[in-house]
Amino acid sequence: MRTVRDLLCLVFGVLLLALAGAATANAQGVIVPGPCRRCPVPPRPIPLPRALPVKSVKIETKIAGQVATTHVEQVFRNDTDQTLEGTYFFPIPETASVSEFAIWDGDRRLVGEVRGREEARRIYDEIVRRQRDPGLLEYAGRDLFQASIYPIPPRSDKKLELTYTQVLRAEAGTVSYRYPLGTGRNVAEIVGTVSGRVEIEGREPVRNIYSPSHEVAVARRDERNSRVSFESKAGQEPRDFQLFYTLSDKDFGLTLLTHREPAKHGYFLLTISPKDEVSEAEYAAKDIVFVLDTSGSMAEAGKMEKARAALLFGVRSLKDGDRFNVINFAGEEHLMASNMIWADAAGRARGEEFVKALRPVGGTNINDSLIAAMRQFLDGGERPRMLVFMTDGLPTVGVTNIQKIVENARAARAPGTRLFTFGVGYDVNTALLDKLAAENGGVAEYVEPKEDIEVKVSSFFNKINHPVLTNLRLDTGGVETDLVYPRELPDLFRGSQVTIIGRYRNGYDARNVTLRLTGRTGQRERTFAYENLSFPLTEGANEFLPRLWATRRVGWLMEQVRTNGEQKELTDEIVDLGTRYGIVTPYTSYLALEEGMQVTDNMTVTAPPTTRSIADLPLNNR
């Protein structure tokens, strides 16, 4: 017979998987409540909500040079008559870096620092043995963090704060920012107000600020600085807050941010978006294979219709000189044609007829469908090769090991093939689709069942149909750089940009530097030059850059661990970067102690005799 603790662990595990699956949707932070294990057992069980209702959400964001720092304050409400413990889950955007986590006890604010996970565990265990309550925020999976909240008194509020930094993307000169409030699984009910303020600071004029989701007030201080604010009243259905603004033509070409303390490494962030000077006639005719998941799970929540609409858009956007094929898969794959066909009017009509007849049934055999699609490109030739892979979930038939699927796709890939992944729904294995795209020269995109698909799909296929530069190379003009990410530059498509972050270490004040970005469009090599750039010896602005660089570095190291197994030099560097820059990883944890509590070199914990911390954040395996 299961104990209450077992049931709680089961509930937490189910929700953790749900949130992890919805990580691309960046689900709203939630507290999952449970009975207090340190309190007297109540005479009768008290029914608990699935998640504590959210009394209020306050968002403060500053965007500088496409780098957004978001501070969110959430107030949760315990409407029961029982003291509760709760597990707090908060997914953050991909590649974002958490810089602070705080818990409030009345008017007391508890914050902490990142330590090695084993060290944090020893300190935590010692404090718990003294029946005191430390705080420990932990990595709970890709882009997901968890903490335990204790105590949550009856009929009371609990306030939490979290701050994170992310680099925003620009598409066709438009920068987008999003904070999740309503789109997704809606695990926690928002019963109170939601307010937000976004400060936009541009290096060049900022134009056309608008929000499709909320009524916003825009106050322009000058052409480069604006403030956007909004407020949603209680009772309104929560919706994700979305904000867009356009950059000037000059700013859309290149943005360079640097930071360097005296006698230390410098850090730089480059966003490059070459102006598109290619005519439609110059884009090379391509070979493209569309692969659509038609497993039974695609019948849920309208996912099949979303994917079908996206695929039909892709087929209809082909040009007469293109060649294509369509493969659908469930337990096994089915080809529209044995080989590629021409995308003339007859060919496109055949493709539409095939797509419209597809029905969802069976399991999900991702491995075999990928290999079958890769074989379509084995006939050689110089035409661009593109594979668009559309799915909603996890592999369930055939090879199901993620690493093995990635390795098999790599082995089957014909030279020059670009793999683009398109995930539909909340249960998508984003780690698999991201890795498949990244290792095969493509990009990953995702669409939610409730999301308007038209804009997302048109943008996705506009990229595929219009590659501005492939096989990119960056010449830094003599500036000494190292540990630059991404390690391999992705292809650059019309209206998109590439973001590069790294360190520089030149021993002189590098002024008037010219960077050159070179790549190919069709059969033609092109070079874009960016002049009068500076990599200074000292630069006090943009102090967030070292943390962003460290986050990218940790991500790369974690990928090496997942691929090659744990090695001491890798884990040691992850711990060093995590503790130095305050990054929570599988090897580091965020330890919050009450004011006045100290840890000595021999791990002895000292604390004021009469005060008590309020944040008990147990480890995953406690």
What is the model's pLDDT at position 46?
Answer: 72
pLDDT score of 616 more than 50:
no
pLDDT score of 145 more than 70:
yes
Q: Report the C-alpha gap between 544 and 334 in whole angstroms.
A: 49
What is the model's pLDDT at position 128?
Answer: 53
Structural element, H or E, at residue 192:
strand 190-201
Q: Report the C-alpha gap between 178 and 168 in whole angstroms.
A: 9
| CA–CA–CA angle 141, 142, 147 (5° rounding) | 45
What is the model's pLDDT at position 595?
Answer: 59
What is the model's pLDDT at position 365?
Answer: 87
What is the model's pLDDT at position 13?
Answer: 40
- Least confident span in 24-28, 499-503, 555-559: 24-28
**C-alpha 378, offset from chain centre:** 34
In DSSP terms, 230 is beta-bridged to 196
Q: Global pTM?
A: 0.75
Q: What percent of the chain has pLDDT over 90?
A: 21
177-232: pLDDT as tens digits:
988 876 444 456 777 788 999 999 987 788 888 887 888 999 888 888 999 999 88
Q: Report the C-alpha gap between 220 and 203 in whole angstroms.
A: 15
What is the model's pLDDT at position 454?
Answer: 66
| 16 backbone dihedrals φ, ψ, rounded to 5° | -60, -45
Q: Report the C-alpha gap between 295 and 333 in whole angstroms.
A: 11
Q: Other CB atoms closer than 10 Å to residue 368's CB: what's the count? A: 18
Residue 4: which pLDDT band, with cuts at 50, 70 and 90?
very low
Residue 311 vs residue 383, higher pLDDT: 311
pLDDT score of 289 more than 80:
yes
What is the model's pLDDT at position 608?
Answer: 47
Q: Report the C-alpha gap between 261 and 15 in whole angstroms.
A: 43
Residue 451 vs residue 487, higher pLDDT: 487
Residue 23 vs residue 154, higher pLDDT: 154
Single-letter code of the amino acid located at 399? V
What is the model's pLDDT at position 38?
Answer: 62
pLDDT score of 8 more than 60:
no
Residue 84: which pLDDT band, with cuts at 50, 70 and 90?
confident
For residue 178 the two structure tokens come to 């999003």
For residue 204 the two structure tokens come to 């060049």
Residue 214 vs residue 41, higher pLDDT: 214
Q: Other CB atoms closer than 10 Å to residue 235's CB: what's the count? A: 9
What is the model's pLDDT at position 603?
Answer: 47
Do the Cβ atoms of 476 and 515 come closer than 8 Å?
A: yes
Q: Report the C-alpha gap between 129 and 125 in whole angstroms.
A: 6
E strand intervals along 204-332? 206-210, 217-222, 225-232, 241-247, 254-260, 266-272, 287-293, 323-329
What is the model's pLDDT at position 24?
Answer: 37
Q: Report the C-alpha gap between 437 and 203 in whole angstroms.
A: 32
For residue 321 the two structure tokens come to 């000189």
pLDDT score of 1 more than 70:
no
264-274: pLDDT as tens digits:
999 999 988 87
Residue 546: which pLDDT band, with cuts at 50, 70 and 90?
very high
Residue 58: which pLDDT band, with cuts at 50, 70 and 90?
very high
Residue 461 vs residue 39, higher pLDDT: 461
Nearest Cα to 66, choosing from 221, 204, 163, 170?
Answer: 170
| 210: CB partners within 8 A, 6+ apart | 216, 243, 244, 245
What is the model's pLDDT at position 226?
Answer: 92
Do the Cβ atoms of 585 and 122 come closer than 8 Å?
A: no
pLDDT score of 545 more than 70:
yes
Residue 467 vs residue 31, higher pLDDT: 31
Q: What mean pLDDT comes out for the span 22-41?
A: 64
Name the one residue in this structure whose structure tokens are 């360079």. 256
For residue 171 the two structure tokens come to 């598409």
- Least confident span in 100-114, 273-287, 412-426, 558-572: 273-287
Residue 236: which pLDDT band, with cuts at 50, 70 and 90?
low
pLDDT score of 324 more than 50:
yes
Q: Report the C-alpha gap between 504 and 257 in whole angstroms.
A: 12
Residue 129: which pLDDT band, with cuts at 50, 70 and 90?
low
415-467: pLDDT as tens digits:
888 898 888 877 777 878 888 888 887 888 887 766 666 667 777 787 777 77
Residue 234 vs residue 529, higher pLDDT: 529
What is the model's pLDDT at position 536?
Answer: 94
Mean pLDDT of the chain: 79
pLDDT score of 480 more than 90:
yes
Residue 577: which pLDDT band, with cuts at 50, 70 and 90?
very high
Sign of CA dihedral 534, 535, 537, 541: positive
- Least confident span in 52-61, 413-422, 610-619: 610-619
What is the model's pLDDT at position 380?
Answer: 60
Cis before 449? omega within 30: no
What is the model's pLDDT at position 19?
Answer: 42
